[in-house]
Amino acid sequence: MNSALLIGVVASSVMSGTSLLYATIGEIVGERAGIVNLGLEGIMLIGAATGFAATALTGDAYLGVAAAALAGTAVNLIFAYLVIGRHANQLATGLTLMFFGLGLSALIGRPFLGTLIAGLPKLRLLGLGIMGNPLLSFDVLVYLAVPAAVLVWWLLFRTTWGLGLRAVGENPVAAVAAGLSPSRLQYQALGLAGLLGGIAGAHLSLAVTMTWAEGMTAGRGFIAIALVIFAKWNPLWAIAGALLFGGAESLQLQLQAAGADVSPFIMNMVPYLLTLAVLIAWGWRRQGAAPAALGRNFVGVE
Amino acid sequence: MARKLFFLGLILGALTAFFAAAPLSAQQKPPLVVGAIFVGSVNDYGYNRSMKDGLDEMAHAIPGLKLLEAENVPETAESERIMEGMIQQGAKLIFATSFGHQQFAFNLAKTHPDVYFEHAGGWMMSHNFGNFFGATQSAWYPMGVAAGKMTKSNTLGFVVGVPIGYAIGNVNAFEMGARSVNPKAVTRVVVTGGWSDKAKEAAATNALIDQGADVVTMHVDSPATIIQTAESRGVYSIGFQSITAAQLAPKGWITGLGFTWGPFMTGIAKSVIAGTFKPAFVREGLGQMMAIAPFGAAVPPDVRTLVMASADQVEKGFNPFTGPVTDNTGAVRIPAGQSWGGDKMGNFDWYVDGVIGKAK
Amino acid sequence: MQRDGAAFWRLLSAQAIGIAVVALIALGAFAALLLAAGKNPLQAYVDTVVYVFGNATGFAELLVRMTPLVFTAVAAALPARIGLINVGGEGQLYMGAWLATAGELALQNHSAFVLLPALTVLGFVGGGLWALLPAILRALRLVNETISTLLLNYLAPLIVSYFIFGPWRSPESSSYPESPAFVDAARLPTLFHSRVHAGLIYALVCLGLYWLALGRTRFGLQMRAIGGNVEAARRLGIPVMSYTLVVMFIAGGVAGLAGMAEVSAIQGRLVAELSPGYGYAGFLVAWLAGTGAGGILVMSFLFAVLGSVGDMLQITQNLPYAVINILMAGILFIVLARRPIGRAVS
């Protein structure tokens, strides 16, 4: 394996894994509060389309990221209202959200198909690329991804807010007894999740491809949902998971460029097989890391 | 009970209104209604753009012609539904512009003998079904010449969407053209697995550049992402599908190949109007259905002359696939004295010597 | 009996009016959205109604569109009755198509009398096995079936792609990755010289069997017992684990039939892109229908109509087809917001 290949793989895994990481930590926040959002794909698409549209209109990619974050939050709050306020079935609502995102993003993005944008500028850390290699200079979202994951970890595990949130996800009745308001915490969690999901989508359209195409997330939202489980609902593990999944996708392309004979399909299967294997292994060892009340609609003493 | 009747009446009334409104929406009769389906968006600076440009040219040339279009039509049964819908709206000529639409257009040709179909890139034919495409392979040879001359690292990169025979043939002609002016030039190939997966295309381009390629080209539906990625990494690019892509790479653009479908499409439309449609298997090359894009600022005059001379040769009938041609494992695939004509362009499952990659 | 009948009709018409109101609200909101986007939605609605109900071809298209939805809805509804969540309809569809293709390639030289039943069985088995794996994992308490069926949805199309790019690549069209065309004897016949194919019959039969099994057999009774209260059912001696495995297998098999119908009737070969989300749409159909058989029939019809509106929007209004998802989601959002708590759904 030559060094060009290695650097190339790392760089492309990082690019590929960044949006996965944002989406995954967002979903972790929501699931830790007891709500599973199968519509993450839709949120990411809306983020991608809104971010692209805003960037095309204003010429400022950072504004685009902000717009994407706002849009993601807003739409996820609709989801939040349905599952929290109306006690709707989380899976059905989530899938509906996915379809909604597919459609809305297509409508938003349509006038901007083929528009050229400069995208998020690549920044160099301290004036140098990482290890002095110009290849390893990335946009701001990449640099902020790991700090964001650490921040979410800190929020979940080192603050009272996070403690309350996790309590709601484990045992909502006990949480109420302790004086917490499950629905308020869940709304907050889903708002944050929407923000992160929107940013995840924006990274795809503003940094990775610098374009908009219908359905461009290509299932990454669902991959993120699998990653949440892979990461055992812990944002720090999600970093490794995102790199792994991002890496698998780009590794086979890099190997091809280097002349190796790999079947792209087999390589693309590896992340999913790995996730499945890991899940089975944990199930075997009875490590139920999921929040106990995940997926259940709390109809309680409110 | 009365409430139920009221609601029922309301619904019936609404339905009647709908049906009554339908005749009101009838319009003046155009000389021809043409339907066209695209597999992607027409704003792709690529394949779909070239089709759209051709159709627009046709609509311009025939006053009053009505054009029904549908973008992002997948290559599944959905396309049959869309085309059927267009026929129901009065279309008498349908352009199915992507390969995967072939079977579905053909099905409709059987059930609608009075509607004419033109499919791009396939081989099926019947009395009301014709097939057309550009003879791309030979046209890639001059592109290879340009790349071979402009490269400094002697490594060229080619991103292929789906490794079909025609695409492999394009890569082969490209490499052969490069070799003809630069014996040390090699071409690395990365397959993304789909005609339009932008994230993969960006990653594939980066992978090729990481491996040393300083000229990148492609056979995917839209060259935009690849060209933009190449431009952001400071390498040259050669476009494909539509000649409008030059604006994406002000610094790195060398040249490109584009389709000029307009005259062909106009001819077909006119023949349908006149009732003289004849199904044919049309493959036209440089000068007819294909054109070379304008050169970029970075290209010196001597290279331009060389490329145009090569293109001229191709137009006059030069076939790069004339034996002896060896593949990249050393085996002779086209023996001396033989050559592969247009009908064999779909049969490539091997790469020529100098291409780094596996065709199968 | 008479009183029951009247009550039934009252309930049904109340539900129908409820659905009509929801649909009208959603259609209205959607029309407003389109108007804001500068389009003419009323024209599209009119065109759709005229095409779909005033035109045999248009109506046939509805039925063709409906067919895979009925399959995947049953595939989601059946396990829901015992409290299992199967979002794996996509993957099961692909694997049913895959195994059916394998059979076609192996048995090409036989007559339709051999081929069609064989392919049907293989389609069923292919999807069934694909659902069995998550079922086993669930029965062994290793992995929740929601996530495992979801993950397998990704593997299945990759497996199909691997085969059509590799071992099953059609030599005649090495210019395009797909399997060789199915021989005529392997194609499901069409009905009444339209595009409606025998797959519709399969789908209706599956639906009928589903209704029968759940309502009239001991099997169904025990299933409903499990769905009501797993622990109680176990104490009654019902073999819950066996039911988990069998029910998931059957559900996957039904989705597999959708795949078999796609390759045999519609595509005529195995291709990479078989399903534009039928599995997920079917899940939503089943959920909307409250997993009742009649509801599945009505809801898949409704979804098919929405699809036709989408086609019209695309052809006459120059909007991307995907936009119709907004309308569909809108209807669903309204329904989700109106559902009273405690309603028995999956």
Q: Which of A259-273, B3-17, C184-198, C225-239 has the lowest mean pLDDT?
A: B3-17
**Distance between CA atoms of residues C177 and B162, nearest Å:** 8
- pLDDT, averaged across chain C: 83
Task: List, edge to edge, every strand of the sheet that includes B236-241.
Answer: B290-292, B253-259, B236-241, B215-219, B155-160, B186-191, B355-356
**Cα-Cα end-to-end distance for chain A:** 60
Cα–chain-centroid distance for residue B26? 35
Pull the structure tokens for residue C247. 């029910």
Which residue has tokens 């009769």? B29
User: Which of A297-301, C40-44, C69-73, C282-286 ranks highest by mean pLDDT?
Assistant: C69-73
The answer to whether C84 and C249 have CB atoms below 8 angstroms apart is no
Mean pLDDT of A99-113: 90
Q: What is the DSSP string of B211-241?
A: TT-SEEEEESS--HHHHHHHHHHT-EEEEEE
| Contacts with A110 from chain C: Cβ below 8 Å | 319-320
Q: Domain for residue B55, yes or no?
A: yes
In chain A, the domains with their CATH numbers are: 9-116+136-286 (1.10.3470)
Q: Residue B339 pairs with which residues in a beta bridge?
A: B322
Query: Which of the two residues, C307 and B272, has the higher pLDDT score?
Result: B272
Q: Domain for residue B4, yes or no?
A: no
Looking at residue C337, its pLDDT comes to 83
| Closest Cβ opposite residue C315 in set B68, B75, B347 | B68
- How large is the angle between the packed helices A40-58 and A90-109, nearest 10 degrees? 20
Which residue has tokens 């952001």? B232
Both B277 and B167 in one domain: the answer is no
Q: Can you tell me whether residue B120 is helix, strand or coil?
A: strand
Count H helices and E strands in chain C, helices first. 13, 0
Q: Which of A38, A107, A299 to mutate to test the interface with C (most CBs of C within 10 A)?
A: A107
**HSE-CB of A208 using CA atoms within 13 angstroms:** 32
Please check the confidence at residue B290 and state whether its pLDDT lies above 80: yes
Pull the structure tokens for residue C307. 């699809």
Please check the confidence at residue C176 and state whether its pLDDT lies above 80: no
**Distance between CA atoms of residues C101 and C107, nearest Å:** 10
Looking at residue A33, its pLDDT comes to 94
Both B272 and B143 in one domain: the answer is no
Q: What amino acid occupies position C279? A: G
Nearest to C303 by CA among C8, C68, C87: C68
Q: Closest-CA residue in chain A for C142?
A: A283
What is the 8-class DSSP label of residue B191?
Answer: E
Pull the structure tokens for residue B132. 């057309």
Query: Please, which pLDDT band fits residue C290 given cuts at 50, 70 and 90?
Result: confident
Cα–chain-centroid distance for residue C45? 25
| Percentage, residues of chain A above pLDDT 70 | 90
Q: Domain for residue B219, yes or no?
A: yes
**Distance between CA atoms of residues B284 and A287, nearest Å:** 64
| Inter-CA distances, B254 with B241, B292, B320, C116, Å | 15, 11, 22, 55
The per-residue pLDDT for range A137-150, each reduced to its tens digit, is 788 899 999 999 99
Both B334 and B278 in one domain: the answer is no
Q: Do C268 and B103 count as a contact with CB atoms less than 8 A apart?
A: yes
The answer to whether C111 and C169 have CB atoms below 8 angstroms apart is no
Q: Which of left, alpha, beta for B196 (phi over 0: left; psi -120 to 50: alpha)?
A: beta
| Element spanning C11, H or E | helix C2-36
**Distance between CA atoms of residues B93 and B86, nearest Å:** 10
- pLDDT, averaged across chain B: 86
| Contacts with A225 from chain C: Cβ below 8 Å | 147, 150
Both B150 and B162 in one domain: the answer is yes
| Contacts with C46 from chain B: Cβ below 8 Å | 18, 21-22, 25
Query: Please, which pLDDT band fits residue B118 given cuts at 50, 70 and 90?
Result: very high
**Helix locations, chain A, DSSP H:** 3-32, 40-58, 61-80, 90-109, 140-158, 160-170, 172-177, 182-203, 220-230, 235-257, 264-284
In chain C, the domains with their CATH numbers are: 2-338 (1.10.3470)
Looking at residue A56, its pLDDT comes to 93
The answer to whether B153 and B212 have CB atoms below 8 angstroms apart is yes
Pull the structure tokens for residue A237. 């593990």
**Distance between CA atoms of residues A72 and A204, nearest Å:** 14
| Contacts with A86 from chain C: Cβ below 8 Å | 336-339
CB atoms within 10 A of CB B276: 8
Name the phi and psi angles at B294, rounded to 5.
Answer: -60, 150
| Contacts with A78 from chain C: Cβ below 8 Å | 333
DSSP E strands, chain B: 33-37, 66-70, 93-96, 116-120, 129-134, 155-160, 186-191, 215-219, 236-241, 253-259, 281-284, 290-292, 325-326, 332-334, 355-356
Mean pLDDT of B172-197: 91
- pLDDT, averaged across chain A: 86
| Inter-CA distances, A28 with A69, A165, A203, C178, Å | 17, 11, 19, 39
Q: Do A92 and C322 count as a contact with CB atoms less than 8 A apart?
A: no
State how beta strands B33-37 and B66-70 pair.
Answer: parallel
| Contacts with C288 from chain A: Cβ below 8 Å | 92
Both B147 and B243 in one domain: the answer is yes
Q: Domain for residue B127, yes or no?
A: yes
Nearest to B265 by CA among B257, B277, B255, B275: B277
Q: What is the DSSP string of C85-106?
A: ----HHHHHHHHHHHHHHHHHH
What total of structural domains would you count in chain B? 2
Looking at residue B270, its pLDDT comes to 93
Both B239 and B265 in one domain: the answer is no
Q: What amino acid occupies position C89? A: G
Nearest to A247 by CA among A6, A12, A51: A12
Looking at residue A131, its pLDDT comes to 53
ipTM of the complex: 0.82
Both B128 and B141 in one domain: the answer is no
Q: How far is B232 from chain A (nearest CA, A)?
A: 9
Query: Please, which pLDDT band fits residue B3 given cuts at 50, 70 and 90?
Result: low
Q: Residue B129 pairs with which residues in a beta bridge?
A: B117, B126
Looking at residue B124, its pLDDT comes to 87
| Contacts with A96 from chain C: Cβ below 8 Å | 284, 328-329, 332-333, 336
User: Which residues, other chains included, contact C167 with Cβ-Cβ below 8 Å and sequence gap of 6+?
Assistant: none
B: neighbours with 3+ CB pairs under 8 Å?
Answer: A, C
| Percentage, residues of chain B above pLDDT 90 | 48
Q: Do A82 and C337 count as a contact with CB atoms less than 8 A apart?
A: yes
Please check the confidence at residue B200 and state whether its pLDDT lies above 90: no
Looking at residue B11, its pLDDT comes to 57
Both B164 and B269 in one domain: the answer is no
Q: Can you tell me whether residue B333 is helix, strand or coil?
A: strand
Q: Which of A98-112, B15-29, B332-346 has the lowest mean pLDDT?
A: B15-29
Task: List, edge to edge, every strand of the sheet that includes B116-120.
Answer: B66-70, B33-37, B93-96, B116-120, B129-134, B281-284
Query: Please, which pLDDT band fits residue C2 given cuts at 50, 70 and 90?
Result: low
Looking at residue B19, its pLDDT comes to 47
Name the phi and psi angles at B241, rounded to 5.
Answer: 90, -50
Looking at residue C344, its pLDDT comes to 40
Nearest to C256 by CA among C219, C134, C264, A38: C264
Pull the structure tokens for residue C269. 């070969």
Q: What amino acid occupies position C44? A: A
The per-residue pLDDT for range B216-266, each reduced to its tens digit, is 999 998 898 899 889 888 899 999 988 778 888 888 899 999 999 999 999
Q: Is B44 on the interface with C (CB under 8 A)?
A: no
**Distance between CA atoms of residues B337 and B335, nearest Å:** 6
Across the A:C interface, residue pairs with CB atoms under 8 Å apart total 139
Q: What is the DSSP string of A69-104?
A: HHHHHHHHHHHHIIIIIS---HHHHHHHHHHHHHHH
User: Which residues, other chains included, contact A73 with Cβ-Cβ below 8 Å and sequence gap of 6+?
Assistant: A191, A194, A195, A198
Q: Domain for residue B212, yes or no?
A: yes
- Which range of residues forms the domain containing residue B80? 33-135+261-284
Query: Which residues of A fall below an 8 Å CB-CB distance to B?
Result: 4-5, 7-8, 11-12, 15-16, 113-116, 122, 135, 204, 208-211, 213-214, 216, 218, 249-250, 253-254, 256-259, 261, 264-265, 268
**Helix locations, B62-151, DSSP H:** 77-88, 102-111, 136-150
**Distance between CA atoms of residues B232 and B205, nearest Å:** 11
**Distance between CA atoms of residues B63 and B59, nearest Å:** 7
CATH number of the structural domain spanning residue B244: 3.40.50.2300
Looking at residue B20, its pLDDT comes to 45
Looking at residue C172, its pLDDT comes to 57
Q: Domain for residue B172, yes or no?
A: yes
Q: Is there a cis peptide before residue B324, judged by omega within 30 degrees of 0?
A: yes
The per-residue pLDDT for range C96-113, each reduced to its tens digit, is 999 999 998 888 888 888
| Closest Cβ opposite residue A88 in set C159, C281, C336 | C336
Looking at residue C343, its pLDDT comes to 41
Query: Which of the two residues, A300 and B14, has the higher pLDDT score?
Result: B14
Q: Residue B35 pairs with which residues in a beta bridge?
A: B68, B94
Q: Is C168 on the interface with B (CB under 8 A)?
A: no
C: neighbours with 3+ CB pairs under 8 Å?
Answer: A, B
Q: Do A88 and C346 count as a contact with CB atoms less than 8 A apart?
A: no
Query: Please, which pLDDT band fits residue C124 given cuts at 50, 70 and 90?
Result: very high
Q: Domain for residue B148, yes or no?
A: yes
Both B213 and B313 in one domain: the answer is yes
The answer to whether A94 and A37 have CB atoms below 8 angstroms apart is yes
Looking at residue A287, its pLDDT comes to 58
Both B304 and B215 in one domain: the answer is yes
Q: Domain for residue B27, yes or no?
A: no
| Closest Cβ opposite residue B72 in set C54, C267, C321 | C321
Both B317 and B187 in one domain: the answer is yes
Pull the structure tokens for residue B11. 């619904």
Query: Please, which pLDDT band fits residue B10 given cuts at 50, 70 and 90?
Result: low
| Closest Cβ opposite residue B166 in set C175, C273, C320 | C175
Looking at residue B302, its pLDDT comes to 93
Mean pLDDT of C34-41: 78
Query: Please, which pLDDT band fits residue C39 given cuts at 50, 70 and 90?
Result: confident
The answer to whether C180 and C271 have CB atoms below 8 angstroms apart is no
Both B251 and B168 in one domain: the answer is yes
